[in-house]
Amino acid sequence: MPLPDQTDGQHDIGQRLRVLVDAPAEAAWNMAVDGALLELAEGPTLRIYGWQPHAVSLGYFQKIADFADLPKGTSIVRRTTGGGAIHHGDELTFSLALPASLLPSDIAESYVVLHDAIVRALAAIGVTCCRATSSKVATARPNSRWCFETPVRDDLITDAGKLLGSAQRRTNTAEPRVLHHGSLVLNQPQHTPFVAAVCDQVAITEVLRRDLQTRLIAELTNVLGLTAQPGERTAAENAMAARLCDEQFRNPTHLSRR
């Protein structure tokens, strides 16, 4: 199924959302590419990717010592975004790198806007979930080290638990920018059984994967008021990603900085 290309070359279709669909890659490279997009992407960019091998990503402020019990050989990376750790297995992962002006300036409200778009994308493939608005959920980070273990306000949840992990990095320079990470679980990771997953409600097939991806792109594009256009990374973005991968995300010093 081709990516949705909403440009027809004949009409003024407004600002484009460049859509990148990457093959599954190692954790350090994934984070390096997102870092390069945050720094260099000239226009709003949506990237969809996966994890090969499966990996654990730590939130930026988490302590590596708290994960000493992970199985030997586990691929681990420290994200630049906040929140708790995620075991990235079979999931639909996406990142948005875009000017902060495209999202509400209130951070909590920005999650609401994006999460509601994802609720609609999931509903279109027959998956029911909602934003956690109950006063019973925590308003700030719970004590759990795992992102999915204890939902907080505005997280996407089902009866089985939390379905989507989200986190952001914000720069506030002359042109403030946002990197938004989203991890939508398709099948439960082996080591974190408390995670809800799309497979709880519908069978995961290749057709469903492609349909979900298409609908996710469409809903995120729509909520941002943009027009989707398939694209490629620039040479400069690839060069910066290579540098960040070697100097930062593959660097044990970066991982153990906290």
Partner 1 sequence: MRPDDLKFQKSHEWCKIDGDVATIGISDYAVSHLSDLVFLDLPDVGSTVTAGESFGEIESVKAVSSLYSPVTGEVLESNEELGDSLEWLSEEPFGKAWMIKVKLTAEGSDLMDGAAYDAHCKAEG
Q: Give me the residues that bind partner 1 (CB under 8 A), please.
A: 59-61, 80-84, 105-108, 111, 139-141, 166-174, 176
130 a catalytic residue: no
Q: Which is nearer to partner 1, 170 or 209 (CB)?
A: 170
Q: Report d(CA 46, CA 21) in Å as an integer.
A: 8
Catalytic residue among 129, 130, 147, 199: 147
Could you tell me the smallest distance in angstroms from the CB atom of residue 116 to partner 1? 16
**Is-contact 17 221, C-beta < 8 A?**
yes
What's the min distance (Å) between Cβ of 107 and partner 1?
5
- Nearer CB in complex with partner 1: 181/233: 181
Query: CB 254: neighbour CB atoms within 10 A?
Result: 16
Beta carbon of residue 176, minimum distance to partner 1 (angstroms, whole number): 8
Query: Of 59 and 231, which has the nearer Cβ to partner 1?
Result: 59
Q: How far is the CB of 174 from partner 1 (least distance, A)?
A: 8
Catalytically active residues are: 147
